[in-house]
Every structure is written in structure tokens, then in C-alpha cells.
Amino acid sequence: MVTISDVAREAGVSTSTVSYVMSGKRAISADTRDRVQAAIARLGYRPHAGARSLASRSTRVIGLQAPLRTGVDVPVIMQVVAGVVQRARVHGYDILLLSSDEAEGLARASRGSMVDALLIMDVESEDARLATIAELDQPSVLIGLPAGRRSIPCIDFDFEAAGWLAVDRLVGLGHTRLALFGAPEAVMERHTSYADRLIRGFLEACEARGVEGSTHPIPDSAEALAEVDAVLTADPGITGILVHNDGALPFIADRIRAHVPSATAPDCLALTSREGALRAHGLTDTIAVPAEALGESAAEMICAMLAGGAHPSVQLLPPELAVGEPSRARIDS
């Protein structure tokens, strides 16, 4: 193993000088700096992470608790994780992946000085981990929005606003009876924060706009078709539909199109992180969930905190409506 002493000897300087060259915390003459950097390159030196964290009390690692359980939309999670990893790297941080064995993993990583900060995904409205995080006294960011007072910084897509946006769009198109087909029952029961908020936004907007709106959890598999079918059959008056369930989308798209076959005025909006695939279903209007951007913003936020900057307590990424071109899109597919 190449140590800092090896580099110092090679460059003819002291170890502290090498350290200062690497960190830039003290002025170093150009000549010395070059010699040291050349020595580092020549020897292929990499500082020992453990030694560094011991001396500097910082690890350059961020703990990320991602939900690996079922019932969540896995591809979305992956996109967020990818965004986090990639952006954290830009700031020189690595990611320690903590499994979702709830609070224990967080405590271990934090107390054991394995990480400089924690990033927590898949937050529930009343999340049991919140108490642990609070007493851990470690910079943390939640990806998700728990209910109540916000002592911990949060970031998320603004699902509530997305609900409003969808309703406004559908009402603007003339629909007066709306339905939201959302996350699976299991997700709802856990009161996963995003599902709750989407429903709230959707229902509040319906009330505000004076239209009827109903919400329906559906499985993220083929079984969704039966449930959607039942809802639409029971109430043929529903003409405006919002779907937030990427897993179910392939199975129910045909049924929904058959229900409201208007080709020019879209009646179904999808809230999804996979815009590309939508075209294929003949669904063209999309509210994109910017999953990767969310991960990147979360990483950015926590890196800013670690860099000592101030930070907003709650950051919500605004929804944007992407209106497609129905006819062309259907031909494309």
C-alpha cells in the first residue's frame, strides 16, 4: 500500500505538505505542488479512507436508505437512486446503501461514523424512523414529505400540485366526473407520503372546481384491469381519468381508451416517470415524475448542507404537464 509518507519522500517534502496539496487548505508554491502531484500520480497514491475519516471526522460517504421491499414502483426507485449516486459523485461523495430494516441501519451507519449524512427514501406520512433520525443528530434529508412539523429537511416531487394540475387540465377539457387510479392498496395502507398527497391534491382540486372525483387504489399488475373495469362500468359518467401506476398502465390503457374513445381530446392523464413508454398506450398527456432529477436534487441538497450552506427546509419539484399529439403518437406506435 502506498501511504502519504511514500509520496512525501518521493516528492522530497513532509507529509503535511502532501496533505495540504491534496486539500488545498494552505497555500503551497506552484513548484512544490507540481512535484507532489507528480509523485502522487507516479505512485498511484490514494489516501486511506479510514485514516482520513479518523483524522478529519468526515467520511465523504452518504448513507442512502432505499426501499428494497415490494409494492413500490421499482424502476422509479432505481431512477432516483441513479440520480443520487451520480450527483453525489460530482461532489466527491460515495453512497452507502442501507437496507430498509428501518431505524437500525440508520443508527448503525450514523453512530458508527460510517457516513456524513443520511438520505431517506420512501417516507411514510407517520414515519417511525423520524424519531431515530432526530436523535441521531446527523445531517439528513428525506425524499418524501411526512405529515406534521418539519424538523428534518425534505425534498420531493409536488404530488399535491400534480393532483391539482391534472384536475385543472381535465376540467379545462370539459370533464365533470373524474377518477384517479393510483398506487396499490399496500402502498396506501402504509400511508406512503406521495400517495396520500396526490389524493389530497386531486380531491381538493375536484372540490374547488366543483367536479366529482373519486380515487381508486389498483394493483400494479394485470389484476388492475378488473378493478378499473369495475369502476368504469359502475359509473359510465367518468370521462376524465388520471393514472398514477406505471406497473398497471400497460394492462389498463386499452380499457380506458375504449371507455372514452375520443381521439382528439385526451381524457386520460398519466403521472409517470417513463414518458417514452406512454405513447405506445395511446396516452399522450403526461405529468412527468422527474425521478432522476429528484435524486439529483436530493443529493445536491444534502451536499449543500454538508458544505455548510443554509438550505430550504422543504423543497418541492413542480409538476409539469406535457401535452402530446394524440393522432401522430398513435401512428408512431
Partner DNA sequence: TCTCCGTGTTGAAGCGCTTCGACAGTTTGA
Partner DNA sequence: TCAAACTGTCGAAGCGCTTCAACACGGAGA
- Which residues of this chain interact with DNA, rule CB under 7 A? 1, 3-5, 12-20, 22-23, 25-29, 31-33, 45-48, 51-52, 54-56
Name the minimum Å distance from CB 126 to DNA.
34
For the packed helices 15-23 and 4-11, what is the interaxial angle rounded to 10 degrees? 100
Note whether 246 and 288 are within 8 A (CB): no
> What's the min distance (Å) between Cβ of 131 and a second copy?
15
Task: Pick what 166 binds: a second copy, DNA, none; C-beta below 5 to 8 Å, kind-dependent.
Answer: none
Q: How far apart are CA 94 and CA 116, in angstroms?
A: 10
* Backbone φ, ψ for residue 246 (5° rounding): -60, -35
Q: State the residues that interact with a second copy by CB under 8 A.
A: 1, 44, 46-54, 59, 61, 64, 68, 74-75, 77-78, 81-82, 85-86, 89, 94-99, 101, 107-109, 111-114, 221-223, 250-251, 276-277, 279-281, 333
CB under 5 to 8 A by kind: which of a second copy, DNA, none does 150 bind? none
Phi and psi angles of residue 82, each rounded to the nearest 5 degrees, phi first: -60, -45
Choose among DNA, a second copy, none what residue 221 binds, the Cβ cut-off being 5 to 8 Å by kind: a second copy
DSSP state of 50: H
Burial, 55: exposed, middle or buried (Cβ in 10 Å; 0-12, 13-18, 19+)? exposed
What's the min distance (Å) between Cβ of 243 and a second copy? 15
From the list DNA, a second copy, none, partner contacted by residue 14 (C-beta under 5 to 8 A by kind)? DNA
At closest approach, how far in Å is the CB of 58 from DNA?
8
By beta-carbon proximity to a second copy, the closer residue of 278 and 287 is 278
Residue among 54 and 208 whose Cβ is closer to a second copy? 54
Query: Closest by alpha carbon to 305, among 4, 58, 41, 33?
Result: 58
CA dist., res. 278 & res. 328, Å (int): 13
Q: Smallest distance from the beta carbon of 37 to DNA, in angstroms?
A: 12
Indicate the residue among 113 and 176 with the shorter CB distance to DNA: 113
| In the complex, least distance from residue 221 CB atom to a second copy, rounded to whole angstroms | 5
Burial 37-51, CB ≥16 within 10 A → b, else e: eebbeeeebebeeee
- For the chain, how long is the longest CA-to-CA vector? 83
